[in-house]
Amino acid sequence: MLSGTHNLITEKFGYLFEPELIEAIHSNMLLKEASAGTVLIEIGQTFPGIPLLLSGSLKVFREDDQGNELLLYYIESGDTCAMSLTFDPKLLKSTIRAVVEEDAQFLIIPIAFLDKWMVQYASWRSFIISSFNHRLTEMLDTIDSLAFKQLDERLKNYLSDKVKINGTTSLHLTHFEIAEELNSSRVVISRLLKQLESQGNLILHRNKIEMLLF
């Protein structure tokens, strides 16, 4: 009973879920791992179930009809993906793309249980509701970042998010990669970064940005 995965689940979710629920998760889940860069789900694909992230982090993208990517939010360990929380199996087509940011371990829980546990476990119900809440708040942040903030503000937010997510101030990124994620162009990003460098916020290297203030 005390397998490694069981402990892992208890460690991440034990403070939230009652033992019976942990037990139920344990006997119905699929444990998966994926390394950085792996595309977990593409737009239009069907979710096999809902994911619970145990370690690592994911980034979630939206894409417009011309194929432009836009970073929506990050998912960290202990989180689930609110976009996958549909109760109607017919609606389980993904409207987003999820890519592994840092090597990740996660559980897949078949959708059937999502519904069942909602009525069975109070802790599950509040977990689902609070992750909706959490995600909605975060989504509002990105919305007003898009609507009201200039690109240099978005870039600053992007960089400090990276520092937070990766737990390091030394970011291994090219200007081109940043431009893609913010849906801008490489030249513009280079100029803004140069500007931030001259303000003493960071130091630029090839393939690397050292963050000083963030």
Partner DNA sequence: ACATTAAGTGATT
Partner DNA sequence: AATCACTTAATGT
Interface residue list for DNA (CB under 7 A): 150-152, 174-176, 183-188, 190-194, 204-207
State the minimum distance, in angstroms, from the CB of residue 206 to DNA: 4
Geometric angle at alpha carbon 89, from 86 and 93, rounded to 5°: 75
State the minimum distance, in angstroms, from the CB of residue 62 to DNA: 16
Paired tokens of 181: 């994620």
Q: Cβ closer to DNA: 95 or 150?
A: 150
C-alpha–C-alpha distance, residues 84 and 82, integer Å: 5
Q: Cβ closer to DNA: 69 or 152?
A: 152
Q: Cβ closer to DNA: 93 or 194?
A: 194
Measured CA distances, 159 to 28, 132, 162, 176, 196 (Å): 38, 25, 5, 14, 11
State the minimum distance, in angstroms, from the CB of residue 155 to DNA: 8
**In this structure, what DSSP letter does residue 93 have?**
B
Q: Cβ closer to DNA: 165 or 193?
A: 193
State the minimum distance, in angstroms, from the CB of residue 141 to DNA: 18
Q: How large is the angle between the packed helices 111-120 and 19-28, nearest 10 degrees?
A: 170
State the minimum distance, in angstroms, from the CB of residue 97 to DNA: 20
Tracing tokens 């970011």 back to the chain, one arrives at 171
State the minimum distance, in angstroms, from the CB of residue 92 to DNA: 33
C-alpha–C-alpha distance, residues 199 and 213, integer Å: 10
Q: Cβ closer to DNA: 38 or 68?
A: 68
Q: Cβ closer to DNA: 29 or 179?
A: 179
Beta-ladder partners of 58: 75, 100
Beta sheet of 202-205, edge-to-edge order: 170-171, 208-211, 202-205
